[in-house]
Chains A and B, each alone.
Chain A
Amino acid sequence: MTQNKQHHLNTLSEIRSLMERSSRFISLSGLSGVVAGTIALLGAIVAYIYLEIIPFDQERIYYVEAPLATKWGLNFIQFFFLDALAVLLTALSAGIFFTTRKAKQQGLKVWDATSKRLLINLLIPLITGGVFCLALLYHRLLGFVAPTTLIFYGLALVNASKFTLNDIRYLGISEIILGLIALFYLGYGLEFWAIGFGILHIFYGAIMYFKYERKEAVTF
């Protein structure tokens, strides 16, 4: 290959890299998904222990049991609030940690125009879903909360996926489908939650890790 050709090839790959880096946030780490999923599963286990029910046990439906539970001196609203908050905070911190680390390895900034755009587009459906769930709680429609969180979370991911790695789109679609199925099996909300926030995160996180990061990690 002539030197000239090599020069043109370099130019084209530089153009492609700039187009990608300037329009998408590509530092999202698959490990954040794996860790967030694991934390979510732990959160689900704590919920089962609190309610003293067994997964897939339809004899005692979780949202019928929940208002009666008073374990550890907490009523169910206090318990679910604390459990969800703990899961959210630890999962979010882990996500930020691994994503910041990946950005550093790539020599990119974590907080720039692309991550801002990603976050805004994620938050619009997510906050809508959050308020929607508060209304469901207000009307005591507890059984609908789990499917609704999955559906809105999925919509948020599909919306945000245009501004980050494309795998997020498939994770989003999976969450939506799972949420829709959950609407027809109201008693299994906790199980669907564990699958959606736990297993799906671990699954897609692992795919993303092996697809984008392991190769890079080896060279480090």
Chain B
Amino acid sequence: MKNIIVHLNKTFDHRVRLGIMSILMVNDWVDFKTLKEMLEVTDGRLASHIKALEAEAFIEVRKQFLGRKPNTSYSATVSGRKAFNDHLDALEKLLKMRD
């Protein structure tokens, strides 16, 4: 039992972080506004969770200008993808175990 728990990644132990990673797994680059609309969270909460994922190098940030407006997009890194997949595998294993 303990063995499997270890594989559940603490960084993903939150709905918003799981949400961010889920979206970034199936899209190349996603901007802040789209993430916000999809996850239905406030700017501040989204920013703090993004920071946490960024600190683990699970996502990378790209800042650019669209015309005059600054636009920040995010993408999952290779290590982020691997960590997220491991996390999902661990979740699946937990579900397959007998009660």
Residues of A at the B interface (CB closer than 8 Å) are 1-2, 4-5, 8-9, 11-12, 14-15, 18-19, 21-23, 109, 112-113
Chain B 1-41 interface mask (CB, 8 Å, partner A; 1/0): 00000000000000100110011011100100010011100
Contact of A23 among B15, B26, B99 (CB under 8 A): B26
Give the residues in chain B near A113, CB-CB below 8 Å.
30, 34
A3 to B92, CA, bound (A): 15
Number of cross-chain contacts by CB at 8 Å:
49
Interface of B is mostly: helix
Known: A8-B91, A12-B91, A22-B27. A1 touches B22 (CB 8 A): no
Please determine whether A11 and B18 come into contact, CB atoms closer than 8 angstroms. yes
User: Chain B's nearest CB lies how many Å from the CB of A10?
Assistant: 10
> In the complex, are the beta carbons of B99 and A109 less than 8 A apart?
no
Instruction: Enumerate chain B residues within 8 angstroms of A23, measured Cβ to Cβ.
Output: 26-27
How many B residues touch the partner, as a band? Answer: 10 to 19
Contact check, B38 vs A5: say whether CB atoms are below 8 A apart: no
Cα–Cα distance between A4 and B94 once the two chains are bound (Å): 9
Closest to A15 in B: B22
**Nearest-Cβ distance from residue A88 to partner chain B, whole angstroms:** 31
The yes or no answer to B88 lying at the interface (CB within 8 A) is yes
